[in-house]
Structure 1
Amino acid sequence: MITSLTNSQIKHVAALQNKHRYREEQGQFVAEGIKMVSETPEELLERIYISETFVPDRRLTSWLEGKKTETVSEKVFRGLSMTQTPQGILALVRMPRRDVKSLLKKSAFLILESIQDPGNLGTMVRTAEGAGVDAIFMSKTCVDIYNPKVVRSTMGSLYRVPFVYVDDLHGLLEEMKKNKITLFAAHLKGEKYYYEADLSGKCAFLIGNEANGLTWETASMADTYIKIPMSGQVESLNAAMAAGILMYDMRRQKEAAAKKIVL
């Protein structure tokens, strides 16, 4: 059992929890909690750390068999945990690698520019899975998806929704246009309401920074500006809320189109 916070393994995990650059250099991140750990794809799972007081249920005990585990003291685990009420289990996970070209063969996308709030990003990833989005592309100026707060808020969707940080967002948008993917920008100057747009084909939603929206350069590459109707004195919605509304209407339209084809 590891009992010291100065143990090399523990220092490594702590650095992954706290340092964005270190995570990038190592190609690893930390997943904490029973749900996040147990849903980790086996090919990405590197090691599991369990508190000495952690008592897994029968299902989890069976799942843990044959996996690399380390038991640590309660003091050490609390030193590693990023939550106020630790569940007593966390995992060291390898970052997945995605191929942009293969992802562009799909039909439903979310494009994020300079999203800064960890909770917003996590919510969008989770909502994207529910709405059937095929992939998420993010500018390098977005918050780190492997930030512990983001990881927790995805509730496991992080493992199932392909995502890629792109160095050249505008270059990606040009490539999407070549692949006949229609680009819709959520914008206050929207030309039509989202439900008036045809979202049944290959399409992508561009969502910008919480405070400033999309940059002019990015917005100008959209095929259509769309908006969400507002009542009262509200001018705009939370970025994650807006993205969720658009993604689910896209799902509605795609399902309706599929039923017509079947009929």
Structure 2
Amino acid sequence: MLTNPRAERVKAIRALGRRSARLRAGRFVVDGPQGVREVLRFAPHTVLELYVESGARHDDLVTAARDAGVPVHECDPAVMAALVDTQHPQGVVAVCRPMDVSVEEALAADDGFVVVLAHVRDPGNAGTVIRGADAAGARAVLISDASVDLYNPKVVRSTAGSLWHLPIAVGGDVAGLIAACQARGRRVLAADGAGSTLLPDADLNSPHAWLMGNEAWGLDEHTRSLADDVVRVPIHGHAESLNLAMAATVCMYASAAELPELPPV
């Protein structure tokens, strides 16, 4: 059992909370049973190690990890607290390889809708949009340069496991991502309060991509001009606007209106 919170191994894992360390090591941390359960279920080949706090009730995760050939390390509470930056560790941490795909792979499906995040900086928003995209049946999520790192621990936690449920591509300028979607026959719909098309009137019947902008300034005029349409969510009350994650969820569920609900897996 690991008992030294100052051990080099522990320090190296804690350092993965920083983007620079993640890039150097080519790995990231999944903290908590929900995320660990989903990565072991949907992408066990990406899991390098599992750390479990002594006495924590995660026997199912330990069994799944060992069945997948993943090394499991038991540790005491002090070590678990030192592994991650959360105030209340949940007793299980996985160290994983990145699992993003290329833009071409993400856009391989020729039906439904995808989501493009343009300069989205808040990790909670990014993770919540990925979770919403998964729930609404999106084919993929594309994340532009200058957006928050997909493997930021707060992004990973906010996805609640959806990180491993649909293809996600990372990198590329916004104009290039828009062009890639259009080249695959997808109409690009910029979601923005400046839109002249109301969401109920938008054409959502053909393959399309929702383009979601920065939390503070949305999408600039040039970026909006690259889209095939600019769509706004109608505001019926006195609210000034919806935040990014709320607006994205409303738009995605409008696109999902005709999709069948999948059975539990």
Could you say whether these structures have the same fold, taking a TM-score greater than 0.5 normalized by the shorter chain as the test?
Answer: yes
* SS of 1:244 mapped into structure 2: helix
Whether 1:24 aligns to 2:23 is: yes
Q: How far apart are 1:254 and its partner, in Å? A: 5.3
Matched with 2:4 is 4
Which of 92, 97, 106 is matched with 1:103 structurally?
106
Q: Residue 256 of structure 2: SS of its match in structure 1? A: helix
Q: Which amino acid aligns with 2:199?
A: Y
Distance in structure 2 (CA, Å) of the matches to 1:217 and 1:246: 22
C-alpha displacement of 1:90: 0.3
Alpha-carbon offset, residue 241 of structure 1: 0.5
Q: Is the 8 A contact 2:178 2:226 kept in 1?
A: yes
- Give the match for residue 14 of structure 1: 14
Shift of 1:25: 2.3
Residue 121 of structure 1 deviates from its aligned partner by 0.9
For 1:94-133, list aligned pairs within 5 A: 94-106=97-109, 107=111, 108-133=113-138
- 8 Å Cα contact 1:199/1:254 also seen in 2: no
1:49 aligns to what?
A: 51
In the alignment, the residues of structure 2 paired with residue 167 and residue 99 of structure 1 have an alpha-carbon distance, to the nearest angstrom, of 10
Runs of 5+ unmatched residues, structure 2: 261-265
Residues 1:83 and 2:86 aligned together: yes
Please name the residue that 1:63 is paired with: 64
Query: Judging changes above 3 Å, is the alpha-carbon distance between structure 1 residues 188 and 55 closer, same or farther for their aligned structure 2 residues?
Result: closer
The answer to whether the 8 Å contact 2:51/2:94 transfers is yes
Instruction: Give the SS at the match of 1:30.
Output: strand
Distance, in Å, in 1 between the alignment partners of 2:259 and 2:79 is 49
Counterpart-to-counterpart distance in 1, 2:50 and 2:222: 44
Name the amino acid aligned to 1:134: R
Q: Deviations over 1:52-91 (max 9, x none)?
A: 232334x334324353011222111112233232221100
SS of the aligned residue for 1:43 comes to helix
Distance 1:60 1:69 in 2: 10
* Deviation readout 1:18-37 (Å, 9 max, x if unpaired): x1121122221100111211
| Alignment of 1:187 onto 2:192 | yes
Q: Hey, what does 2:175 align to over in structure 1?
A: 170
In the alignment, is residue 157 of structure 1 matched against residue 162 of structure 2?
A: yes
For the residues of structure 2 that align with 1:111 and 1:168, how far apart are their CA atoms? Answer: 11
- How far does the alpha carbon of each residue in 1:179-208 deviate from its partner, in whole angstroms, 9 at most, with x for none? 211010112221211121111211001111
Contact 1:138 1:165 in 2 (8 A): yes
Structure 1 pair 79–102 and aligned structure 2 pair: CA distance change class (3 A): closer
Cα deviation for residue 233 of structure 1 reads: 3.2
Residues 49 and 71 in structure 1, CA contact (< 8 A), matched pair in contact too: yes
Q: CA RMSD in A?
A: 1.7
For structure 1, list consecutive stretches of 5 or more residues without a partner in the other structure: 256-263
Separation in structure 1 between the aligned mates of residue 63 and residue 180 of structure 2, nearest angstrom: 46
User: What is the CA-CA distance between 1:157 and the residue it aligns to?
Assistant: 0.1
Deviation at 1:253, TM superposition (A): 4.3
Asked if structure 1 preserves the Cα contact closer than 8 Å seen for 2:102 and 2:170, the reply is no
Residues 236-251 of structure 1 correspond to what in structure 2 (within 5 A)? 236-251=241-256
TM-score, normalising length: structure 1: 0.90
* Residues 127-146 of structure 1: pairs in structure 2 closer than 5 A: 127-146=132-151
1:258 corresponds to: none
What amino acid is the match of 2:206?
G
Letter of the 1:133 counterpart:
A
Aligned-pair identity in percent equals: 35
TM, length-normalised to structure 2? 0.89
Q: Does 1:216 align with 2:218?
A: no
Give, as a single letter, the amino acid of the residue that structure 2 aligns with 1:69.
V
